[in-house]
Amino acid sequence: MKKIKFFIFISLISIGFCVINTYEDSYSIVNDLRTEFESISMPEIDIQALLNEDDENLGEPVPLRYAYSFQVNYGINNAGTWETLEDGSMLWRLGFHSDGAYGMKIFFNDFWLPDGSELYIYSKNENMSIGPYNHEQNHDDGKFGIPLVKSDHIVVEYYQPATVLDNPQINIDQVFHAYRDIHNFYNDGEGSRTYCSDNVACDDGTFQDQIESVIFLEMGGYVCSASLVNNTSQDLKPYVLTAWHCVEPETPGEHNYFTFYFNHEASTCNGSSGYYGRSETGSYLRASANLNNSDFALLEMDDDPPSWWGVYFAGWSRYTSTPTISAGIHHPGGGPKEINYDNDQAYSCSWYSGQDHWCLNWDYGGTAGGSSGSPLFNSNKLIVGQLSGGTGGDCGGTDLYGKISSSWNGSNASSRLDDWLDPLNTNQYTLDGTYDGVPVVEGCTD
């Protein structure tokens, strides 16, 4: 890996990505600090080989890959440039360049910030900044992850006022190069879509509640779909349902740094650009079962999504009887939210064995890579499963959704939904969704 030096002076537009912070320009930008600091160039990668590998996985139960991960070991003890400023404060900066990347992000395998200090990550020349991160982001596991930043050249900047005496812990072990423009950063306008489902902007309002529950889920260099789900205590605990194959190899109880994007939607029927301004990073895996079963994973986000985002905690049904399907809502290819429609009964099927999936052929629409983990709604607009995969492609073929009814029971709390979605032990078979803890009964107008 090549190390270079460069000067930086740009005006950044701050973009927020985590609800527990405000977002501002870094110390060096605000103070027009043009001093030199170290930047590290990543090795060249074979993009076509990566795309060929991705093509081979089409239709398989694997999440859609969009980024290549470099394994590195850089931090405040062995890289970057420290400066002592006139007022006694300290500044550390380190750049990462990966030629041709649509976006970049990093993962900290050692992360602890003293109270009063700040950390930013920003692009060298693409007008995007995230931060400040501070001591509130310190976690027991001593790790930290960030969302994708638009640039092939990013800067990590740590600022410590003179009044702060404790030493930070900052080390980076992964640098991600986005070789797919998964966030559509470089589209000058909303162009033609590539999938056969409708953008949710085209829905007549029939599924507006359910649309507000669906999440674009980013895990390291991969993406899937997911949904926020209600539980019988109606306490708005941020449980998120997705597929096990999206979160593998995480195990229940482990903390992760997945990013949850809400309201990632196009504003028009044919738009291909979405919105990324509402996201949170971090969750625990509470329960899961693999593809030999119903291929489900239940995550609990670190932080509650704010009520002003208008998110919906979808209801569910765990009946074993064959459901009539109404819709599926998802993020094909990581793009803006789309919706499929159906008016037929699903039928029992299996990925490997066990009849733990619902199978169907859509009347209108279809799925694609990135749709995995998305919710399947019955005619009462309740979730009955999450997508494992299939031959549904962009239009036509069969899709398989892991059954809520099969995911409900397991040998212990880490292998079933029961303990988490029915904490009051009500033994309910259905639960309506909610925005604010008050059930939304579908079909009621008052």
Q: Are 330 and 273 in contact, with CB atoms under 8 Å apart?
A: no
Q: Is the Cα torsion angle 294, 299, 300, 305 positive or negative in sign?
A: negative
DSSP string, 81-122: EEEE-TTS-EEEEEEEE-TT-SEEEEEEEEEE--TT-EEEEE
Catalytic residue numbers?
245, 295, 372
Alpha helices in 240-310 (DSSP H): 244-247
Give every CB contact of residue 392 below 8 A, 6+ residues apart in sequence. 361, 362, 366, 367, 398, 399
Length of the chain counted residue by residue: 446
Side-chain-side CA neighbours of 52 within 13 Å: the count stands at: 4
Residue with tokens 């986005």: 178
CB count within 10 Å of CB 260 equals 25
Give every CB contact of residue 150 below 8 A, 6+ residues apart in sequence. 102, 103, 123, 126, 128, 183, 185
Q: Are 201 and 268 in contact, with CB atoms under 8 Å apart?
A: yes
| DSSP code for 32 | T
* Residue of 178, 188, 191 whose CA lies nearest to 146: 178
Radius of gyration, alpha carbons of the chain: 22
Which tokens hold the place of 383? Answer: 């979730």
Q: What are phi and psi of 139, to 5 degrees?
A: -130, 155
CA separation for the pair 198, 267 (Å, rounded): 12
Longest distance between any two alpha carbons in the chain, whole Å? 72
Exposure string over 176-205, b if 16+ CB within 10 A, otherwise e: bbbbbebbbbeeeebeebebbbbbbbebee
Q: Classify 129 as helix, strand or coil.
A: strand
Q: Classify 303 as helix, strand or coil.
A: coil
